[in-house]
Amino acid sequence: MSNMLNDPHTFLELLKEQIEQNLKTHVGHSDAPVMSKSDAFDLSQFTSKVQFEKEMNEQGLMVETIFHNSAPPILYEQALKHEKGSFITSTGALAVSSGRKTGRSPSDKRIVDSPVGHWAFTNEIWWGKVNIKLNDEAFLTNRERAIDYLNTRDQLYVIDAFAGWCETYRIKIRVITSRAYHALFMQNMLVMPTPEQLKDFGNPDFIIYNAGCFPANRFTSGMTSSTSVCVHFQRREMVILGTEYAGEMKKGILTLMMYAMPMKMQLPLHSSCNVGRENKDVTLFFGLSGTGKTTLSADVKRDLLGDDEHVWSDTGEL
């Protein structure tokens, strides 16, 4: 080891060889891109990777192989390799199975009633059949169950991205999941950072632990089935158990934005939005899920800004 450190040339060659081997492992091909010595010894990238691994360990996750903001082709390959029944359609889309659940489970969604802390003004929540209370202990039980399951996986998929385009108000989101399809889905739902933004991403503002392949314990306080989708605003976390339907993550982010943005005097909208190509006139289509927002906003004569969820900021940005 001391001889290697005394010879920078040998050290860089060994480091280059190790990184190329890791790339081959992740990409799954022998023709992985060849790296130069400068690429292999990019200190900023190395520091960023070390910080990311530290954050994952602090969150209780000790899985050796983590695909962090992997490119869509890699996620396609991972889904085809590990998720039974996945295939590529004639249009190039990835088709997957969401398991037993083919839609959201609103009756299994819970929000922790925690009136203090960051984003924890739960006295502002309209409690009832839609927003159902959960106690802190039950959430922590589900969180531990989710992390224990994720730690049994051979590989995990992590997405760091933004909810919202406006730099002033956007929220940094981290999604941790055991399915490549979930990661690919959230890449489409969120605003992906540039390499420079990812390097400076820092700690996320909100984390989703998606262990939907593993059931909740239905005897845990507050549970009504083996499915649980619970949000804790004080901890800035969301835990999913017992459902592999990807839309739970999207709706969780909408719930977060509906809760957090009015506190910043910004307007969250459950709507689609398009704009005229000539006059630049903006149209909003409001409605619950399944009422036609996507269909009506998909107009060949207009540009689509988004088909479901937006925050209209005071700067005019969405």
Mean pLDDT, consecutive 10-residue stretches, the chain (318 aa), reads 47 62 59 51 65 89 94 96 96 95 93 75 83 96 98 97 93 98 97 92 96 97 96 96 97 94 92 94 91 94 92 83
pLDDT reported for residue 32: 52
CA atoms within 13 A on the CB side of 219: 0
Query: Is 65 inside a domain boundary?
Result: no
Identify whether the C-beta of residue 241 lies closer than 8 Å to the C-beta of residue 228: yes
- Note down the domain range covering 25: 9-41
The answer on 183 and 215 residing in a single domain is: yes
Does residue 54 lie in a domain region?
Answer: no
Same domain, yes or no, for 130 and 245?
Answer: yes
- Provide the number of structural domains found in the chain: 3
User: 114 and 226 share a domain?
Assistant: yes
Q: In terms of Cα–Cα distance, which of 202, 203, 179, 204 is closest to 190?
A: 204
Q: Do 165 and 301 belong to one domain?
A: no
Amino acid at 180: A
pLDDT at 289: 84
* Structural domain ending residue among the three candidates 264, 285, 302: 264
Residue 208 lies in a domain: yes
> Residue 124 has what pLDDT?
80
Asked whether residue 66 is domain-assigned, the answer is no
299 lies in some domain: yes
Query: Does one domain contain both 215 and 289?
Result: no
260 and 301 housed in the same domain: no
- Per-residue confidence (pLDDT) for residue 317, from 0 to 100: 74
Q: How far apart are the first and last CA of the chain?
A: 54
Please give the pLDDT value at position 36: 52
Question: Is 172 part of any domain?
Answer: yes
- How confident is the model at residue 92, as a pLDDT? 94
- Alpha carbon dihedral 193, 195, 201, 206, in 10-degree steps, equals 40
| Cβ-proximal residues to 144 (8 Å cutoff; 6+ apart), any chain | none
What pLDDT was estimated at residue 265? 93
Query: What CATH number has the domain bearing residue 195?
Result: 3.40.449.10
Q: Do 240 and 284 belong to one domain? A: no
275 shares a domain with 255: no
Is residue 159 assigned to a domain?
yes
Look at residue 68 and tell me if it is in a domain: no
Q: Specify whether 190 is located in the same domain as 242.
A: yes
Q: What is the pLDDT of residue 115?
A: 72
Sign of CA dihedral 221, 225, 226, 227: negative
- Whether residues 27 and 101 share a domain: the answer is no
pLDDT confidence of residue 4: 42
Q: Are residues 229 and 307 in the same domain?
A: no
The reply to whether 185 and 100 lie within a common domain is yes
